[in-house]
Amino acid sequence: NGIADSAVTAAKATGFGKFSQIQVGSSAGVVSSTSTSYSVITTVNITPSATDSKILLLGTVGEPDQCDGRLAARFFVGSTEITSSEDRITSEMGRGLSSTGAETHRPNITQNIVHSPNSTSQQTYTIKIARTLGSGTVRVGNGGSNTIIAIEVLA
């Protein structure tokens, strides 16, 4: 039906804005942690061209492992977490694992969120991991890349 196709095309053209720039983040490679404090695994910088721009973040945590610890992975801007409980990369991967010290390998985990910085200053986005429970080690990037991509979307 031509009317429905035109409506979809118009919605796509006006509803999402235009991509202004794409920045690809650096990866820290394999990162292991025994800490409940967050450690950076990948970073990207982007400078929005307008205060009403949105930043679409595409994040991947590469092949997470746990050895007695539960893994949390979250998006941050500067030192501030910007993910809600619904869009965290993972809150508690490894829940229910026994404390045997054995590694448990998982496939890459991805998550996407939209952030509104309301600024034209450079924004530093990171993905950070921490051990949330247990006394063991969590590890990422062992067999898969940790990546973050920032895409500026103009209003």
Token pair 């804005």 is found at: 17
The first and second tokens of residue 149, run together, are: 């991509």
111 confidence band (pLDDT: 50, 70, 90): confident
CA 137 to chain centre: 21
Burial grade of 32 (CB within 10 A; 0-12, 13-18, 19 or more) = middle
The first and second tokens of residue 125, run together, are: 């986005």
Q: What is the pTM of this model?
A: 0.79
Digit-coded pLDDT (tens) for 22-38: 999 978 788 888 888 88
Distance in angstroms (rounded) separating the CA atoms of residues 135 and 138: 10
Digit-coded pLDDT (tens) for 136-154: 778 888 878 899 999 999 9
Position 8, amino acid: V
Burial grade of 54 (CB within 10 A; 0-12, 13-18, 19 or more) = middle
